[in-house]
Amino acid sequence: MQPYNVSNSGAFIEEFIVQPYQPGSLSNLNFSVKDCIDVKDKITGFGNPTWRSTHPKASANAICVELLLSQGAKCVGKTVTDEFTYSLLGENHFYGTPLNPRCPDRVPGGSSSGSASSVACDLVDFALGTDTGGSIRVPASNCGIYGYRSSHGRIPTAGVIPLAPSLDTVGVLAKNMQTLKLAASALMGGINLCNNPSANYKIAVVEEIFAACDPNIQKSIYQHLDKNFKEYTVIRLSDIMSADVTLAWLFDLYVLLHSCELWSVHGAWVEAVKPELGPIADYNFNCIAKLANRGLLADGMKKREWFAKKIQSYLKKDTLLCFPTVPETAPKKGFYNQNPAARTSGTYFQNLIGINALAGLSKSPQITIPITDSSAIPVGISFLAGQNQDEFLIETISSWILD
């Protein structure tokens, strides 16, 4: 892979240096920060120039940034994000598309696009991102790196611009599992993640998700499983739920909750300021009025809690769900920018959001690890643990990767 720099990667919106407070577990490592996360004395631009021009500089670092600086890591800048962190593509109309160095003609994935690109281009050791509906996991998969979405509420979100608060999480993108493990430990308050987790874990492959994916992805991931694991079981979501839960069901529930929360958080500003929007953001906001059906919200919240309890009851403390991170390889650059309405046609986005809603609706941690499909394009294989079982998830995957 050719060497990349800040200019030809397109990953950064702003370069600067924030030195660590003291030596620690992350000494000699540097990191970038997604542009929805506060860094003191810098404007948090949220991927949109109107937002950037109407908001002041941050008065303090986000807590997640503080935790990394306190463990010896150096912050080297802010990275590009999709407008309002509201997309899974990684193409920003105003600031450009960060490079996917593994597949330069394809999107990096969003909304933590610049964070993923900065890692994949070897410009930083790791990056801070946020994940509401796949914004860490999708770009990690597309760019061939590791991505960790934390349990809901496990890593502090103070100083992070919200999108849909009951679904928002902070997480990490990294080139290797060891760095991800160190950063995740710091973000959870410096907990000690051991190198010898229990060997009594189980892997349950989610059949509905595999069935919705491109055959090449299915083949590549099953080959990976067969090569690396002695045994795994195949289960259906409907078996866990004792009800007919499909990817379409997950998609509909996620979109309802996400749309209602997003408009409650940002609708007044959008209507009052009337910001300049790129074509994808404009299309997204125009869709919200149709998607945010508040008459269905109470029932949707009950369904979410029911779903989360069923998942947690199944997973307990020894089981990991396994499935492809994305249903298809990364789309070609420019297609959806030129055809925003194509987001709601076909099956790509419905399946992509449905797959990634599994963690958000169950409040669970998830890690995607990179493999390569049969056409040599990066894809990720994901593992999901029970809520607040982040240590078990990280320790177990580390034992496979680092042995």
Which residues are known catalytic residues? 34, 111, 135
Contact 276, 93 (CB under 8 A): no
The phi-psi region of residue 89 (left if phi > 0; otherwise alpha if psi is between -120 and 50; otherwise beta) is alpha
Q: In terms of Cα–Cα distance, which of 363, 369, 364, 378 is closest to 398?
A: 369
Burial group, residue 23, by CB count within 10 angstroms (0-12, 13-18, 19+): exposed
Burial group, residue 180, by CB count within 10 angstroms (0-12, 13-18, 19+): buried
Tell me, letter by letter, the H, E, C secondary structure of 369-394.
EEEECCCCCEEEEEEECCCCCHHHHH
Q: In terms of Cα–Cα distance, which of 310, 300, 307, 294 is closest to 260?
A: 294
Q: How many CB atoms lie within 10 A of CB 114?
A: 36
Contact 88, 109 (CB under 8 A): yes
Contact 297, 253 (CB under 8 A): no
